Amino acid sequence: MAFKSFRNFMEDAVRRYYSSERALKDFFTAPQLDRAFGEALAEFFSQHLSEFEKPSLVELGAGTGILARDILNYYRENYPELFKNIRYYIYEFSPSLIEKQRKVLSEFENVEWVSELPKVEGVIFSNEFFDALPVHVVKEGKELYVDENGNEVWLSLENERVKEFLKRMGYENLNQVVEVCLDCIDMLKRISESLVSGYHVVIDYGYTSEEISRFPEGTVLAYKEHKVVKDFLKEAGNADITAHVNFSALMEYGKDFGLETILFQSQRDFLMHIPTFLNELEKLSWEETPEGIERMSRLKTMLVSMGDKFKVLLQRKSS
């Protein structure tokens, strides 16, 4: 019988899922909650983009394109000079999402879709992208494989890069499931090579090495219609498979590629330091219309239920 490593299984399932029609309506992220999220990010990026004469923003995995739309709208209204100069690149692998993004962003002339990361000065960022990159799943010297019928098979761990990762991160003797995202490290390398000068920002749910013991069975989850699917090994391509991001690994391996961590905090703390977001909260707290009350509750979701689970990592490319 043929076996696939879980990493290969996940890569295939994620690609199929995001290329299906289902991906257009299934995932639910902060930009979809409210434009205040994109506006806060835009304000934060503007401080960093102002360092460059010809600044670029590169978004990895742009979903329906609404985050890009909210950021560009914000610049058009509040930073017309930046809006005039900026180039916005989207790196996306789903043909159906690219089509959707092109529609949502049709009014903007400065957006370009790329299949390779371009050389830029500016900011490369992502929201809920790294969690979609495939992971090797290991436990006590064994690696998870999947057979043709969607059953779990644990085989001896042979992958040298995975073994090196466990050693470097100090996970060798853990008696628990550990997920190893070599694709995240390869992505970091590509990001660093693409940044002539500038910053890398990751927003995602994740953990650090100190917190890994909170997930003895690992963090891989599959979602379908906003619900967790249990038997997802038999549902390849129908469900969105994700793994929490190991932020300690992004910080540690970033060093190899000249990406120095300059900020790491919860999404709540991050948003609460951005004046635009605070102003919006203040304004909405006085609103009594149903729409205002609803927006207020959406902003609170970003701070409360998502606030601690989601982290923001800012890295600077040192030249």
Smallest gap, in angstroms, from Cβ of residue 222 to ligand SAM?
A: 13
8 Å CB contact between 142 and 154? yes
Residue type, 240: D
Helical spans, DSSP H, in the chain: 6-19, 23-26, 30-33, 35-49, 66-78, 80-85, 95-104, 160-168, 182-194, 247-254, 267-271, 275-285, 290-303
Under the binding rule (CB under 6 A), the answer on residue 63 touching ligand SAM is yes
For the chain, first and last CA: distance in Å? 50
**Sole window of 58-66, 142-150, 189-197, 262-270 interacting with ligand SAM (rule: CB under 6 A):** 58-66
DSSP single-letter state for residue 113? E
Under the binding rule (CB under 6 A), the answer on residue 57 touching ligand SAM is no
Smallest gap, in angstroms, from Cβ of residue 135 to ligand SAM?
A: 12
Under the binding rule (CB under 6 A), the answer on residue 267 touching ligand SAM is no
In terms of C-beta density within 10 A (0-12 exposed, 13-18 middle, 19 or more buried), how is residue 235 classed?
middle
Nearest one of 191, 296, 295 to 250, comparing CA atoms: 191
User: Parallel, antiparallel, or unpaired for β 195-207 and 87-91?
Assistant: unpaired
Q: Encoding tokens for residue 158?
A: 């042979």
Among 6, 10, 13, 18, binds ligand SAM (CB under 6 A): 18
Residue number with the smallest Cβ distance to ligand SAM: 61
Closer by beta carbon to ligand SAM, 46 or else 127: 127
Nearest one of 42, 233, 207 to 130, comparing CA atoms: 207
Closer by beta carbon to ligand SAM, 23 or else 195: 23
Closer by beta carbon to ligand SAM, 93 or else 154: 93
Under the binding rule (CB under 6 A), the answer on residue 92 touching ligand SAM is yes
**Sole window of 23-31, 43-51, 170-178, 252-260 interacting with ligand SAM (rule: CB under 6 A):** 23-31
Among 5, 46, 94, 246, binds ligand SAM (CB under 6 A): 94
In terms of C-beta density within 10 A (0-12 exposed, 13-18 middle, 19 or more buried), how is residue 155 classed?
exposed
Site for ligand SAM in 69-88 (CB under 6 A): none
Smallest gap, in angstroms, from Cβ of residue 281 to ligand SAM?
A: 21
Smallest gap, in angstroms, from Cβ of residue 125 to ligand SAM?
A: 9
Under the binding rule (CB under 6 A), the answer on residue 310 touching ligand SAM is no
CA–CA distance, 32 with 42 (Å, rounded to integer) = 15
Under the binding rule (CB under 6 A), the answer on residue 179 touching ligand SAM is no
Site for ligand SAM in 187-226 (CB under 6 A): none
8 Å CB contact between 274 and 280? no
Among 62, 82, 104, 135, binds ligand SAM (CB under 6 A): 62
Under the binding rule (CB under 6 A), the answer on residue 14 touching ligand SAM is yes
**Sole window of 29-37, 39-47, 77-85, 273-281 interacting with ligand SAM (rule: CB under 6 A):** 29-37
β-pair partners for 242: 221
Under the binding rule (CB under 6 A), the answer on residue 132 touching ligand SAM is yes
Nearest one of 140, 160, 168, 138 to 252, comparing CA atoms: 168
Under the binding rule (CB under 6 A), the answer on residue 127 touching ligand SAM is yes
CA–CA distance, 68 with 85 (Å, rounded to integer) = 16
Under the binding rule (CB under 6 A), the answer on residue 276 touching ligand SAM is no
Q: Encoding tokens for residue 308?
A: 């601690």
Give the footprint of ligand SAM on this chain (CB under 6 A).
14, 18, 27, 29, 31-32, 61-63, 67, 91-94, 97, 127-129, 132-133
